[in-house]
Each structure stands twice: as structure tokens, then as C-alpha cells.
Structure 1
Amino acid sequence: MKRALKLVASLLVTLLFTWWTFRETDLKSQWASLRSADYFYLLPYLGILTLIHICRTLRWGCLLSGIERVPFRRLNEASGIGFMMLLVLPFRLGEFARPFLIAQRSSIRRSAAMMSVVLERITDGLLVATLLRVLLFFVPSESVGIRYVKLGSTVMFALFGGGLAFLLFARWQHDRAVRLVRVTVGRFMPGLAHKMADVVDGFVGAMRQLPDATQLTFFFLLTLVYWGLNGVGMALLARAFGCVGADAACQPMSLTLFQAFVAMTVLVVGLMIPAAPGMMGTFQAAMKVGLGLFLPAAVVNQSGLAYANVLWLSQTVQQIGFGLILLSVGHLSFRDIATKLDKEGEASAPMA
């Protein structure tokens, strides 16, 4: 029943954001933007998405190297399938797919692999939140929606910064951190407190197996390259919507590299909002807010949203496509993996 309610709630969130995003859109004009787009730019953009996948996979391997050096083929299989499942499975079950898959392909314990995923999330969250705050200094203060973007970046920094601070405190004062969890969260949700205590234990154990300085340096360098490629790719794909050779009704748009990075960071903040699998709705809404910082509303609601839809579809197809290819190559069953993750999710659900 709880899962059904969560699914209904996530679908409602998706519908709400989809309605808000497209409520002022002339669908005929947006269709005209899609028809006039130069889809030649999809080829280099898909190439950039492939490089992004490789960077994500390699940097995960850097974090895991303190425990075991996993061969790229096994690492890539767990990474590609895991990111696909993160996109398509409800209730964030896909977060557990990579640790589950890498544990089957190495001697790495799932708890240690899960901690590597947590460290990835914290690193990305703090980097994006900090980058957004810095970039916003150069965005005109009268831009539409900038107040909400600043608030979102502050919330994001507080969440990930607070999470990192607590985990570092747990590394320093393990027993006190576990006791704090049980005293606070345990009063209202004993089951969740038990799981959080397990996370603290796992993190402390994983901290003792951190990679060496060289691998950590590669991890941070690959993180910078990963996010750099994302921004460059978004700027490149925006060129497809310049309305070159189209009729006068087409509203051309373009993004500078700076604007693309701002839109990218706003998008990441927006995707923190829980929604249905696939990020449909929240993705387009966040892009609308990000593009609205620079472009007139008429352009955003036509070419801007057409661009957002193509961007979303490209990323979705690439992620799912890689996952399906790797499933086929590895002779694995999506249903079997999803069923095991779902059963474990039920077993670990907080007790009332």
C-alpha cells in the first residue's frame, strides 16, 4: 500500500510539473521548432554522452580501487545497467542496482559499494550547488525566477553539505553518531533509524578503504571532466534550434557556454524533486526555469521547450540503450534484477 501511494504521489508530481511547464505553450509552434531543428547536432551530442558514460564509470572505479581494482568490462556492465535501472525503476530502487551488480562481479561488499555511490552523490551535489552559486553572481538579478534558483541551490548545498558533515562526524565519533540517530529518528521511525545506523557503520568501514591519493586525484579530475562535458554538450545541442532556413514563425534560440552551464546546474537542482521514473516533467520544468534566466518567455515556450524535450529524450535513449545492450551481452534479465531489488527494498522498508 505504501509503495502504491508513493507511485501515485510521484505520478501526480510529474503531471503537475508537466502541466506547469507546457501550460503557456503553443503546441503547433513547438512542433514547428522540432521540425525545423538541425538534428545533425545529435551525432556529436550522442558522442559526448558516450564520453560522459565512460567518465562516470571510470571515476566510480577510482573510488572502488581502495577495495579492489575491478576490470573495466565488469565495471562498465554494472555501471551501464545500474544507471539504466536508476532511470526506469520507481522509488529510487535503481540506486541499489550498481552496488548489487558490482558485488556479483567482484569481491566488493555491497555496503562498501553503496558507500561509494553515496560519496559520488555528495561530491556531485556539493560541486553543482557551489558552481551554481558562483555562476549566479554573473546572472542579472532581475532575471525571472532567479530568487527560486538561489533558494534551490542553498537547499541543495545544505542537504549534501549536512550529509557530508554528519558522515565525517560519524567517522570521528562513531558510537555517538549511531546513538544520535537512534535517539532522534528512532523515536518516530525505529526501522529507518536502524537502516541509518547500518549506513553509518558501512560508511565508517568504507572510509578505512579509501583509494590512494593518485586514485582520489583521478576521481576528482574525472568529476570535473564529467560535468564539463555535460555543459559543453548542452551548449552544442542548443545550436540545433537556431531556426536556420525555417519560416518566420520559428523562434530561434542559442546558448553560450556560460548559459549552458547555468541551465545544467539548475536542471540538476530540479531533478532532486521526487517524480515518476524517467524524470519526465521535472526535467522539462527545470530546463524552463534555467532557460528563462536568459531567454524571453516566447522563445522558452517554443524552441526552448522543444530543445528540452530533445535533450531529455537523447539522454533517456542513450542511458536505456546502453543498459539494454549490456544486459544482452551479459545474458542478464532485467526482470530478475528488478525483482531482487524490489524484494530487498521491501525487506529494508522502515517499520511503522
Structure 2
Amino acid sequence: MKRAVKLIASVLVTVLFLWWAFRDTDWDTQLASLKSANYLWLIPYFVCLTCIHVARTLRWGCLLSGLERVPFRKLNEASGIGFMMLLVLPFRLGEFARPFLIAQRSSIRRSAAMTSVVLERIVDGLFVAASMRVLLFFVPNETAEVRYVKLGSWLMFAVFGGGLVFLLFGLWQQARTVRLVRSTVGRFAPALADKVADIVDTFVGAMRQLPDGRQVALFFLYTVVYWGVNGFGMMILANAFDCSSAATGAACQPMSLTLFQAYVVLCVLVVGVMIPAAPGMMGTFQAACKVGLSLFLPAAVVNAGGLAYANVLWFAQTAQQILFGLVLMSLGHMSFRDIAGKLDKEGEAAAPTA
């Protein structure tokens, strides 16, 4: 029953954001933008997406190296299939996929692998929030959209910065942190407090097995490469919608992005897809792209070529992750149903502490 309610809620969020994103759409002009787009630009964009996948996989391996040096083939399998599961499974069950899969391919415990995933998320959140704050200094217009985006960056700082401070405090004072959880959460739900305290204790214990300085430096280098290529690829794909010289130029609204604008849109997009929605991030993805593009482009362009670009961007990223996951799953002779079923049991076990 709880899952049905969550699924209905996530679908409603998707429908709401889709309505908001497309409520002012000029469908004829958007269709003209899609028809006149030069889809050859998808080739270099898919190259960028492949580089992003490799960078994400290698940097995860850097975090795990304090526990075990996992060969790239096994690391790539767990990463590619895990990111596909994160995209297509409801209720954020895909969050458990990479720890589950890497535990099958190494001696690393799932709890320790999950700690690495949490650290990845915290670093990404802080990196994007900091980048957004810096980039917004160079956006000249203080519009309502800019103010909302700034608010989003502060919220990211609060959420991920708070998580980092909590983990660092736990690393410094592990026993005291566990007692703090029991004394606060235990006032309202003693059974839940025991579960949360055990999880915190396990997470902090796993953090004590962080990699050496070289691997940490490589982790941050791959993080910069990952986000750098991400924004660069978004700029590349935008060239597909520069239909100014196309035969349908009168109907199509041409658009393009500078590298600076692409990075701002990327940061806004990351904030937007943090909102829980249906599998695949549909709705929140397009709405966040619209907000980011509206910081630089006229409404007529955003509601036509801009949303056409957002849809192609979403489709390309989704197709790439699913394709990589299915290929790696096939090569590993694995069943989607079997993995999803085991992850579902993981989710049920973790539900009381979520």
C-alpha cells in the first residue's frame, strides 16, 4: 500500500512538472525545431556521455580502493548496470544497485560500498552548489528565476553540507555520534533509533577505510572531468538546434548555448532532478532545463527550441544509460528481473530507516 501511494505521488509530481514545463509551449515551432535539428551533433554528444560514464566509474573505483582495488571490468559492470537501475526503478531502489553489484564482484561489503555512494553524492552536491554560486555572480539580470536558482543552491549547500558535517563529526566522535542518534531519535521511535544508530556506526566505520592521498586526489580530478565534460557536452548538443540557416528557419526558433551558459543550465538541472519524480526523471528534467535556459534566452525561444533541446537531451542521456546497462547485463549473463527483485528486498529492509 505504501509503495502504491509513493508511486502515485511520484507520477503526480511528474505530471505537474510536465504541465508546468509545457504549458506555454508553441507546439508548431517546437515541432519545427525537432524537424530541422541537425542530429549529427548527437555523435559527439554520445562520445561525451561515454567519457562521463568512464570518469564516474573510475572515480568510484578511487573511493573503493581503500577497501579493495577492483578491476575495471567488474567496476564497469557494477557501475553501468547500477546507473541504469537508478534511472528506471521506482522508489530510489536503484540507489542500492551499485553496492549490491560490487559486493557480488569483490570482497567489499554492501554497507561499505553504500558509504562510498553517499560520499559521492555529498561531494557532487557541494561541487554543483559551489559552482552555481560562482557562475551566478556573472549572470547580470536579477530576475525571479535567478533568485529561485540562488535559493536552490543555498538549499543544496544546507543539505549536502549538513550531511558532510555530520559524517565528519561521526568520524571524529563515532561513539558520541551513535549516542546522539539514540538520544534524539530514540525519544520518538526507540526501535527506529537502534536501526539508524547501527547504520551510522557502520557508515562511520567504513569511512575509516578511505583511500590514500593519491586516490583521493584522483577522485577529485575525475569529479572535475565528470562535471566539466557534462557541461561541455550540453553546449555541443545545443548546436543541433541552431536552425538559423535551415530551410525551416522562418518557423524554427534558433538557439545555442555558450560554455558558460551550458554550465549554468547544468547546475540548475542538477537541482531540479533532486525532486523525487517518476522513474527516468521525466518532468523535473524538462522543467529544470526550462528554468536554466530562461536565464539567458527569450521565452519564445525557450518554449520552442529550448524545450525541444531539453527533450532530446533527456532522451540521449536516458538511452545511453539504459543501453550501457543492458549491454553489460547481457555480457554478464544477468537477469533484470532477478536484480530488481533482490533490490526490492533491499529496499524493504531499508525502508524503516529511509
Q: Are the structure 2 counterparts of residues 351 and 161 from structure 1 closer, same or farther at C-alpha, using a change threshold of 3 Å?
A: closer
> Aligned equivalents of 2:227 and 2:136: distance in 1?
17
Letter in 1 for 2:56: R
Tell me, what secondary structure is at the counterpart of 1:350? Answer: helix
8 Å contact kept, 1:288–1:300: yes
The answer to whether 1:14 aligns with 2:3 is: no
> Aligned equivalents of 2:11 and 2:189: distance in 1?
25
8 Å contact kept, 2:93–2:347: yes
2:334 to 322, 332, 337: 332
Q: Deviations over 1:18-66 (max 9, x none)?
A: 0000000022211111000010100000011001000000000000011
The answer to whether 1:88 aligns with 2:100 is: no
Gaps of 5+ in 1: none
1:290 is aligned to: 292
The answer to whether 1:155 aligns with 2:155 is: yes
1:186 is aligned to: 186
Give the superposition deviation at 1:201. 1.4
8 Å contact kept, 2:171–2:208: no
> Aligned equivalents of 1:192 and 1:84: distance in 2?
31
Tell me, what secondary structure is at the counterpart of 1:187? Answer: coil
1:202 is aligned to: 202
> Aligned equivalents of 1:198 and 1:141: distance in 2?
48
> Aligned equivalents of 1:192 and 1:333: distance in 2?
34
8 Å contact kept, 2:196–2:353: no
> Aligned equivalents of 1:340 and 1:227: distance in 2?
31
Q: Deviations over 1:295-320 (max 9, x none)?
A: 00110000000000000000000000
Letter in 2 for 1:76: N
Letter in 2 for 1:257: L
Q: Where has structure 1 moved over 4 Å in runs of 4 or more?
A: 189-192
> Aligned equivalents of 2:320 and 2:275: distance in 1?
22
Letter in 1 for 2:113: A
Give the superposition deviation at 1:85. 0.1
RMSD: 1.4
2:229 is aligned to: 229
2:219 is aligned to: 219
Question: Matched residues, percent identical?
Answer: 75
Give the superposition deviation at 1:171. 1.0
What does residue range 39-58 of structure 1 map to in structure 2 within 5 Å? 39-58=39-58
8 Å contact kept, 1:86–1:93: yes
1:272 is aligned to: 274
In the alignment of these two chains, the number of paired residues is 352
Q: Deviations over 1:107-164 (max 9, x none)?
A: 0011110000001000000000000011001112333511110111000110000000
Moved more, 92-101 or 182-191: 182-191
Tell me, what secondary structure is at the counterpart of 1:67? Answer: coil
Tell me, what secondary structure is at the counterpart of 1:295? Answer: coil
> Aligned equivalents of 1:351 and 1:315: distance in 2?
31
> Aligned equivalents of 1:310 and 1:186: distance in 2?
48
TM-score, scaled to structure 1? 0.97
1:28 is aligned to: 28
The answer to whether 1:141 aligns with 2:135 is: no
> Aligned equivalents of 2:166 and 2:155: distance in 1?
16
Q: Are the structure 2 counterparts of residues 39 and 108 from structure 1 closer, same or farther at C-alpha, using a change threshold of 3 Å?
A: same
Q: Are the structure 2 counterparts of residues 189 and 259 from structure 1 closer, same or farther at C-alpha, using a change threshold of 3 Å?
A: farther
1:240 is aligned to: 240
Letter in 1 for 2:7: L
Give the superposition deviation at 1:190. 4.5
